[in-house]
A and B are shown apart, each in its own frame.
Chain A
Amino acid sequence: MRPDQPIREQALAWAMLTREPDFADWDGFTAWLEADAEHADAYDAVQFALDEADAALDIMPETEFTLAANDNPPKGWMTTRRAWLGGAIAASLVLALSFIFGFGPQGETLYATAPGETRLIALDDGSTVELGGGSRLAVLDDRAARLEGGQALFTIRHDAADPFVLTAGADRLVDAGTVFDVRLAGKALDLAVAEGAVIVNPEAQALRVDAGERAVRTGERYWVGPIDPQAVGEWTRGRISFEAASLAEIAAELTRATGIVFTAAPSDIRLAGSIALDQVRADPRALEALLGVRVTPRGKGWVIAAE
C-alpha cells in the first residue's frame, strides 16, 4: 500500500483484496485501519458502493445488460464469450444425448445421462444400477463397470466367487454383498454403503467400508466416517445432502441432479444441508431458505452466492 496514495484509493485497493476469497492478510489490513481513523470510513464507503453495484448488476436480467452494452460501443466482450459458452453447453448436451446408449471399445456398453435425468440400468444377473443426472457409466459385463463421472447407486447380487468390481477414477471398488452409492467429481470420490461392504483398492489400501459407512477420497487421502444407511442413495428419492461443500460443488451437484444450470459466485464458505429436489425444480430460490444463500437468476440459469 503506497502511503502517498489518496485514502480513497488505498481503501479501494484494500476492498479489492478483502473481496478475494483467499485473502489472508487481516493483520496488515488491521494495521492500515489503525493508522488513521478516516481509513475505516473510506473503506466502508467503497465497500458500500461495490455492494450496490453488485446488487444492481445482479437484479438486471442478462439480456438487458448486454443490450445496455451494445448501446455503448465498443461491444461488450462478455457478450461474445457468453454466446460461445452457451454453444459449448448446448454441444455437450447433444453429445450426452447421443451417448445415452452406445457401444464402446471391447464391447463395453456406455450409458450417459443428461443433467436432471436419471436412468435405471438392469444387469443380466439381477443387479441394478441407478445412474444419476449428468453421469457416465461404462458397463463391461455383469460383474464389472467403470464410473467415468457423476453418481450411481449400485444394488449388486453378491457372489463371493465372482465379486462385482467398479472402477471409479483411480480406485477399484470390490463389493462384498452390497447396496452402495458412488459419486465421482473430477478426482474426488465419495462412496457410501447401505448394505454389505465394499473393499476399496484390494491390492493397495484394501480399505473396507461397511454398511453405514462412507469413504471420501480427496487427493491421496481417504477419510472414513459414519453415514445414516437410510440416507444412502437418497438422491434416487429426490433428495441430496451436503457436508462442508463449497458453493461450486453445490452448484455442480444441483445442475447434475435437476438439469437447471446453477453456477456459484466466488466464496470460500462451506455449507451443510439437505435439499428436496422437487422444491428446487419448482423454484430455485427455495435454496435461499434451505441453505442460507442468495440465489439470483442470470441468463437461463441461476447464481448461488454466499449470504
Chain B
Amino acid sequence: MAPTAPIEQAYLANRTRLLRFLRARGAGDAAEDLVQELWLRLAAAPDPVAASGIGYMMRAADRLMIDRYRAERQGSLRDRAWSEAQPGLTDNIAPAPDATRIIAARQHVALIEQALTEVGDRAAAMFRRHRIDGVTQRQLADEFGVSLSTVESDLRCAYSKIVAVRGMIDEA
C-alpha cells in the first residue's frame, strides 16, 4: 500500500468541507485552486497519519489563507522593506536575522512592551507566559489562581494591544 493512501482518503472525504471553509475564509473564485494547493501541502506533511486528522487539515487550510494574505500584503505595503525582511511562513528555513530585521524587531518589541504596560501586570505576565513560554490557558489559570474566563479576558486585552501596535506600524 502506498504510504500516502490514508491521507489521500482523508483529504477526499473532507474535500467539500475544506472547500467550504476556504470559501468562508475569503478564497472566492480561487477556492478550487487553493484546495489543490492545500492538498500539495498535506501530501508533503512529514507525518501523514497526523496530517489525516480533520483538525490538522482545517488548520493547514487556515494557515494557507493567512500566508496568502501575507503574500498579498507584501506587494502593497508601504513599509515593504520591513515585510520582505520577515521570514515567509512557507519557508522552512528562517534566514539568520540581519541588522535591519533586528532593528525593526527591536522597535516592534519596544512598542509591544509599551502597549503591555497599559494592560496591567497580570495580563502582561500572562501574555508573556502564553506567547513566549508556550504555557496553555488552562495552566495559566492554575498558575495565577484565576478562572479560565479571567485568563481569556486578560489575554484578549493583551492581544488587542498587540494588534493595535501593528496598526500603528502600518500607519507610521
Contacts and interface: CB of A to CB of B under 8 A. Distances in A.
Place the interface of chain A in its size category.
35 or more
B163 interface: yes
B155 to A, nearest CB: 6
B134 A57 contact: no
Interface string B88-122: 01101110010001101110111011100100010
B104 A56 contact: yes
Contact of B132 (A74, A78, A268, A291): A78
A68 B109 contact: yes
Place the interface of chain B in its size category.
35 or more
Interface string A233-273: 00000000000100000000000000000011110111111
Given A13-B156, A78-B132, A270-B50, A53 B165 contact: yes
Interface string A14-50: 0110101101101000100110010011011111111
Given A56-B112, A57-B112, A16 B134 contact: no
A5 B10 CA distance: 36
Nearest to B68: A44
B75 interface: no
Contacts of B132: 57, 78
Contact of B94 (A44, A49, A52, A296): A296
B87 A57 contact: no
A4 interface: no
Contact of A53 (B54, B94, B112, B117): B112
Contacts of B58: 26
Given A59-B97, A292-B92, A16 B152 contact: yes
Contacts of B78: none
B24 A23 contact: no
Given A56-B104, A81-B129, 17 more contacts: A9-B156, A12-B159, A16-B152, A33-B21, A44-B26, A44-B69, A45-B69, A47-B69, A52-B108, A53-B112, A60-B105, A65-B109, A68-B113, A72-B117, A78-B128, A289-B92, A294-B94
Interface of A: 8-9, 12-13, 15-16, 18, 20-21, 23-24, 26, 30, 33-34, 37, 40-41, 43-57, 59-60, 64-65, 68-69, 71-72, 74, 76-78, 81, 244, 263-266, 268-273, 285, 288-289, 291-296, 307
30 contacts: A12-B160, A20-B136, A21-B136, A26-B21, A26-B58, A30-B21, A33-B24, A33-B25, A48-B73, A49-B166, A49-B167, A55-B86, A56-B104, A59-B105, A60-B106, A64-B106, A69-B113, A72-B113, A78-B132, A244-B47, A244-B49, A264-B134, A265-B134, A268-B56, A269-B47, A285-B93, A288-B93, A288-B94, A293-B92, A294-B92
